[in-house]
Chain A
Amino acid sequence: MAENEKQSLKDKVFESQVWRSIFRHGYADTHRNRVLQVAGNVFLHLHPTKTRRHALRIRFTWCAGGVTFLLFLVTVVTGVILMFYYRPTGEHAYIDIKMLEFDVPFGMVIRNMHRWAAHAMVIAVWVHMFRVFMTGSYKPPREFNWVIGVILLVLTLLLSFTGYLLPWDQLAIWAVTVGTNMARATPLLGHEGPFYELVGVNARYDARSFLIAGQVVGPPALLRFYVLHCIFIPIAASVLMIVHFWRVRKDGGISGPM
């Protein structure tokens, strides 16, 4: 009796005109349909249509690349949420972080998720690189994907560095002062670097003042780092990640034990 009622309720929902107008026909759970579902979906098609047994061995891959990507997604989501309150100006930046921490409900959780996910992402990306190196997965035909990976590592570090300035406290300002002072020594483009006189750069017009919009780390530098942190580097990293994942598939899938 109860079974019958359940069945009639199911029919009422799935055979209703509304449901049928949206879904048209049922889904046949066949191997072919499963493959088509992955291959035909814009997000899922990056997955392999078939997975080799070794690719699931966590002791071989450590899933470090996947963890890195997951942490990237965490920073993207929490970062966008933080952008609802944070204003990248000299007057507001510091007080907005304070407000996020102490006055906004769940603000401290979101801010710290962003911060810790960023730290963890840097660690995970190194672990991923270490694993790929130790398993020889950089060897042909995967050399070019290693190169893309190295660029992604640099972009990860730059994301951390540009995010470091945004709290606009003493630690941030001085860390970025120290960090960007190294840009003075850029060959050709830094006014204290080798061959700077060939290009004719000086303290006012060189690689460092390009980065921080002047000669001191002030509000223009904050705005510039904010744009780099929220727009430029994430887009560049996303594009390269797409290529990186695609190449994993095209170069023969996740490398396995010899």
Chain B
Amino acid sequence: MPIIKPVNPDGTDPSQATWSRRDFFALTGWAGFLGGISAGLLAFGRFMFPRVLFEPATAFKAGFPVEYSSGEVSERWIKAQRTWIIRDGKGFCAIEAKCTHLGCTPRWFKDANKFKCPCHGSGFKGFAEGMDSVTVGINFEGPAPRPLERIKVALAEDGQLLIDKGPRFRFEKDEWGKPGSFLKVG
């Protein structure tokens, strides 16, 4: 029985063509498959980041300045807002209670005059009556690589302190003097 060679309608040999019908369908199939998988993976990556997070608001009102006495570390907002508010002779600053080593909550020890992290023992300088607040929170022992971060403190329209944990001020970037890091109160 003679072998019948396939021939294109215009007389050319289909095996000489750059693309056979089979190549085309195979490539289309693979492109569709891989494209679908890639689109699925990209969608999953976006899916894992919800548009809304149900986390505590970053800003809060912390009461009136007269409620804070000069020369002490106020722990009034430590449970609810993880924030120490410190008033010295010139005004207010606010420190977030979050260790710069791996994010645990340090504790304030008034007698030892330092902040101490329970996880790995990092220590940060404290604050007392008559001191200037410029050195509060500087790391001096343990694994913490940098001082505690300060957060924005301002006055709200009603005269209360407005603390915002969004903007942060880092000592090592020389940001502790920047506007917002300290609230002057006469």
A residues at B contact (CB < 8 Å)? 174, 177-178, 181-182, 204-205, 209-210, 213-216, 218, 220
Contacts and interface: CB of A to CB of B under 8 A. Distances in A.
Contact of A181 (B49, B54, B103): B103
Contacts of B104: 174, 177-178
A218 B103 contact: no
A214 B54 CA distance: 9
A213 B48 contact: yes
Given A215-B53, A220-B50, 7 more contacts: A177-B102, A177-B103, A178-B103, A213-B50, A213-B53, A214-B53, A220-B54
17 contacts: A174-B104, A174-B119, A177-B103, A178-B104, A181-B102, A182-B102, A209-B49, A210-B45, A210-B48, A210-B49, A213-B48, A213-B53, A214-B53, A215-B55, A218-B54, A220-B50, A220-B53
Contacts of B50: 213, 220
Interface of B: 45, 48-50, 53-55, 102-104, 119
Nearest to B105: A174
Given A215-B55, A216-B55, A218-B55, A178 B102 contact: yes
Contacts of B53: 213-215, 220
A213 B48 CA distance: 7
B57 to A, nearest CB: 12
Closest 10 interchain pairs by CB?
A178-B102, A181-B103, A214-B53, A181-B102, A177-B103, A210-B48, A214-B55, A205-B49, A174-B104, A216-B55
Contacts of A204: 49
A181 B49 CA distance: 17
Contacts of B103: 177-178, 181
A21 B168 CA distance: 79
A213 B45 CA distance: 12
Nearest to B104: A174
A174 B102 CA distance: 10
Contacts of A210: 45, 48-49
B149 to A, nearest CB: 12
A174 B50 CA distance: 23
A204 B51 CA distance: 10
A209 B119 CA distance: 22
Contacts of A209: 49
Contacts of B48: 210, 213
A205 B46 CA distance: 10
Contacts of B54: 218, 220
Contacts of B49: 204-205, 209-210
B55 A178 contact: no
Nearest to A179: B102
B126 to A, nearest CB: 23
Contacts of B119: 174, 178
Nearest to B103: A181
Nearest to B48: A210
Nearest to B102: A178
A203 to B, nearest CB: 10
Contacts of A216: 55
A219 to B, nearest CB: 8
A205 B45 CA distance: 11
Q: Which of B45, B50, B102 has the most CB of A within 10 A?
A: B102
A182 B104 CA distance: 12
B86 to A, nearest CB: 24
A211 to B, nearest CB: 9
Nearest to B118: A174
A181 B53 CA distance: 18
Nearest to B46: A205
A161 to B, nearest CB: 14
Contacts of A178: 102-104, 119
A215 B104 CA distance: 14
B106 to A, nearest CB: 12
A88 B55 CA distance: 18
A174 B104 CA distance: 7
Nearest to A175: B119
A101 to B, nearest CB: 25
